[in-house]
Chain A
């Protein structure tokens, strides 16, 4: 009797081969393929770069200009956009190609491995982003990168005070005579800073699990549809997954731009500016009344 081969979509990326301590998973293979695709595309673009653009260059230019405009809408500054944009667009392409590689029919190629519950099929390709290791790597780099960017933009002391607000605690002693409420406000501000620090870890978790969840759910959905009516039913869902791939890549890179922008913003200066604006408007009103 022919042995049944199980093909389950697992929560984790399946190992394809081992090199000593290092396990190569199918998601890692997909990521390497994604890197290769991006390198080939970049080299092709570089080789065919002309003043009058060809089709590939045209597509890149359209994407680049659209993405830069989108970046401007978040940062409100072209100078800041130009700094963040290379990282954001790289994340976008890396996530996008990884998302799409999982949709390729060559995911049907793989290994047969004997497991605890009999023979199991392990596909060679699985979306790189359908492995939480990839999304964690990206999320950690995004959050660390944002904080490093913050250090270069506003300085290490200001960034440190964002999380461990010693400045606010110090105000208890310096401003107590002018404003008695500072004794309540300053500790709250200090704890808000600590919450911000926890928020940074939450950012890693939310970024990584959002992307992983969406792409993994897409793979499960496709597998389920194929189990109901193979070849036919997954087709419309494949189109949807192509779209989901773009949307998720866009969300991830836009959030990265948001985090970088927040890190590069000097909140004290911003508050002082707002205070000045308020005073100025009060002054104007006073003049208008008198």
Chain B
């Protein structure tokens, strides 16, 4: 033991000094590096895990919203299609109804026109007849007047 101590110059004072050196290193590293760094890393890790959780939640929410949106969109599409079909049917019905109505109206108008024409025709014929009669009377009167004129001249 003595030889080891003298060969390696083992000195308890230097051992104590080196122990104090290590204790200083430990305290300084613990207070100024390890503790704050661990705290910071734990906080960051918490933030990251919270961020990941939030991202997951947001993703789920986004998916749900997208699904809802798709659902609503398909419902709206169906509704729109239904409305469109109904509108189309209604339009078609209205169109055919209007055509039918138009046809009836046209027929009525044609009938009325025909009747009016007929009445006009009858009226014109009647008037023509009356005109002819008056013309005939006038012609007869003129002829008779002409026939009476030489007799007077002869006199």
User: Which residues of A line the B interface, CB within 8 A?
Assistant: 11-13, 21-23, 25, 27-28, 31-32, 34-35, 38-39, 41-43, 45-46, 49, 51, 57, 60-61, 64-65, 85-87, 89-91, 93-94, 128, 131-134, 136-138, 140-141
The complex places the Cα of A39 from the Cα of B23 at a distance, in Å, of 12
- Residues on B with C-beta less than 8 A from A141 are 19, 22
Query: Are A93 and B34 in contact, CB atoms less than 8 angstroms apart?
Result: no
Cβ of A137 to closest chain B Cβ, rounded Å: 4
Cα–Cα distance between A138 and B29 once the two chains are bound (Å) = 16
Give the CA-CA distance A57 to B17 in the complex, in Å: 30
Q: Which residues of B contact A (CB under 8 A)?
A: 7-11, 13-19, 21-22, 24-26, 28-30, 32-34, 36-38, 40-41, 43-44
Q: Which residues of A are found within 8 Å of B8, using beta-carbon distances? A: 11-12, 132-133
Q: A42, A89, A140: which has the most chain B beta carbons within 10 Å?
A: A42
The majority secondary structure among interface residues of chain B is helix
User: Looking at the complex, which one of A11, A32, A85, A93 makes contact with B21 (CB distance below 8 Å)?
Assistant: A32
User: Which of B15, B43, B44 is close to A137, meaning CB atoms less than 8 Å apart?
Assistant: B15
Total A-B Cβ pairs within 8 A: 111
- Candidates A43, A60, A61, A137; contact of B18 at CB < 8 Å: A137
Q: Is the interface of A mostly helix, strand, loop or mixed?
A: helix
> Hey, which chain A residues are within 8 Å of B32, CB to CB?
42-43, 45-46
User: Which A residues lie within 8 Å of B37 (CB)?
Assistant: 45, 49, 57, 60-61, 64
Give, as a whole number of angstroms, the nearest-CB distance from B8 to chain A. 4
- Which A residue's beta carbon lies closest to that of B22? A94
Q: A35-B24, A61-B37 are in contact. List 9 more A-B contacts (CB 8 A).
A: A38-B29, A46-B33, A46-B36, A87-B26, A90-B29, A90-B30, A132-B8, A133-B15, A137-B22
> For the complex, what is the distance from the CA of A126 to the CA of B113, rounded to whole Å?
133
A132 near B22: Cβ-Cβ < 8 Å? no
Residue numbers in B under 8 Å from A57 (CB-CB): 37
A42–B33 touching, CB < 8 Å: yes
How close is A135's CB to chain B, nearest CB, in angstroms? 9
- 6 residue pairs of the A-B complex, CB under 8 angstroms, read A45-B32, A46-B32, A57-B37, A133-B8, A133-B9, A133-B15
Closest to B44 in A: A51
Q: Which of A35, A45, A64 contacts B25 (CB 8 A)?
A: A35
Q: Looking at B8, B15, B41, which has the most chain A CB atoms within 10 Å of its CB?
A: B8
Could you tell me if A11 and B30 are in contact, using CB atoms closer than 8 angstroms?
no
Residues of B within 8 A of A43 (CB): 32
Residues of A within 8 A of B38 (CB): 64
CA distance A89 to B34 in the complex (A): 9
